[in-house]
Amino acid sequence: MAHKKSLFTQLNEQKWSFLFIAPAVLLFLIFVLGPLIASFYWSFTDFNGIQAAKWVGLANYKHIFLNDPRFWKSVRNTVIYTVGVIPPGMALSLMLAMAVDQQIRFKNFFRTIYFIPSVTSVIALSVIWKWLFAGEKYGLINHLLILMGLKPIDWLMSPVWTLPAIMIMSIWAGIGYNMILFLAGLQTIPTSVYEAADIDGANVWGKFWNITLPLLKPTMVFVVIMGFIASFQVFERIYIMTESEFGIGGVLDSALTIVAYLYDMGFRKFQMGYASALGYVIFAAVFIITIVNIRFVKTKVEY
């Protein structure tokens, strides 16, 4: 009898557990899995979001790779953005992490100050930096350049400077988040390793190159992978800082990235089928780059 009561209780608890997870599962099916399946089907169709989708097979994918120079320009801009943001951002974040990891006064205050941009809305940051990069009359950065006797730069209206301006803003905005990750990695390194290096007569640079960097490899792998994913998905700051009545991406598409191009095709030109195909091309690129990064740096770390 006790066994039957125990079994009944277990079944009753399972029913309640299913009831509690049902809303989350339902939301996942409606807002994640459903759109994924629908967009995968639409990527093989000519669909404008209103009329019935017309099956075209691989025509969208063929046009993306063979007959779409604007797509390849967005890929080029995305690669330049990625290369220009990840290495400098990692270097600056590591420097800040090592600085605030020292026994200095107000180090918690400095950690907080550097981390604030990471928890601030990207839209708010983009609006602020758009004002900072404004023309000669209103932009604070150009005002400082003029005070230093330098020629002002038309940052967001120049095909040369638009993408670098957005890269500067992205590096500044991401430093705090990566700093926290590197700080956590630094604090996992045993102090005994540094003490042994001191006994062997290692200097500061010797300890950095032979101890800190090798033992930070797992953290660096995570930062690189997340940086690649974020760079290939960058959109909000591109939209806020370059969108105009002429389109998105700046003058001559100088700052057009692949996600911004997807938005332009899907929600400005209403080529939903083509935009869906672009979405799966982006997914494949991010997936391949992530696997390559993991395989390339997959080594065992020993303390």
Residue 236 located in a structural domain: yes
**DSSP 3-state of 45:** strand
- Alpha helices by DSSP H, listed for the chain, are 2-28, 34-42, 59-66, 69-100, 107-115, 122-132, 140-147, 162-187, 191-199, 204-207, 213-215, 217-232, 236-242, 258-263, 272-296
Quick one: 141 and 229 in the same domain? Answer: yes
Which residues on neighbouring strands pair with residue 54, listed in sequence order? 46
Lowest-pLDDT range, 9-23, 63-77, 105-119?
Answer: 9-23
Amino acid at 146: I
- Structural domain containing residue 264: 68-296
With beta carbons less than 8 A apart as the criterion, state whether 142 and 136 touch: yes
117 within some domain = yes
Q: Token pair 């690129």 is at which residue?
A: 285
Using DSSP's 3-state secondary structure scheme, residue 7 falls into helix
Domain presence at residue 301: no
Entry pTM: 0.86
Same domain, 38 and 92: no
Whether residue 274 sits in one domain with residue 129: yes
Residues 6+ apart with CB under 8 A from 176: 93, 114, 115, 116, 117, 118
**228 lies in the same domain as 94:** yes
Q: Is the pLDDT score of 289 beyond 50? A: yes
- Residues 20, 107 share a domain: no
157 and 41, same structural domain? no
117 and 15, same domain (yes or no): no
Q: How far is CA 26 from CA 34, 36, 213, 276, in A?
A: 10, 15, 45, 23
Number of separate domains in the chain: 2
pLDDT, averaged across the chain: 87
**61 found inside a domain:** no
In a domain, residue 14? The reply is yes
Q: In the predicted model, is pLDDT for residue 13 greater than 90?
A: no
Taking the C-alpha atoms of residue 254 and residue 162, their distance in angstroms, rounded to an integer, is 7
Burial of 296 (0-12, 13-18, 19+ CB in 10 A): exposed
Q: What does DSSP assign to residue 159? A: T
How far is residue 199's CA from residue 196's CA, in Å, rounded to a whole number? 5
**Is 168 in the same domain as 291?**
yes
Question: Do residues 173 and 122 touch, judged by C-beta distance below 8 A?
Answer: yes
Could you tell me if 217 and 301 are in contact, meaning their C-beta atoms sit under 8 angstroms apart? yes
* Residue 62 within a domain: no
Given a contact cutoff of 8 angstroms between Cβ atoms, the answer to whether 247 and 268 are in contact is yes
Q: Are residues 163 and 247 in the same domain?
A: yes
Give a yes or no: residue 138 inside a domain.
yes
Quickly count: other Cβ atoms within 10 Å of residue 216's Cβ.
Answer: 20
> Quick check: 294 pLDDT over 50?
yes
Q: Check residues 79 and 103 and name the one with the higher pLDDT.
A: 79
Which conformational region is residue 52 in: left (phi greater than 0), alpha (psi within -120 to 50 degrees), or beta? Answer: beta
Whether residue 2 is contained in a domain is answered as: no
CATH number at residue 76: 1.10.3720.10
Reported as a single tens digit per residue, the pLDDT across 81-104 is: 999 999 999 999 999 999 888 877
**Helix boundaries (H) for 148-190:** 162-187
- The stretch 157-177 carries a mean pLDDT of 93
Same domain, 18 and 93: no
Residue 260 and residue 188 share a domain: yes
- Do both 157 and 195 map to the same domain? yes
* pLDDT tens digits along 234-257: 999 999 998 876 678 888 899 999
Please state the rounded mean pLDDT for residues 212-237: 90
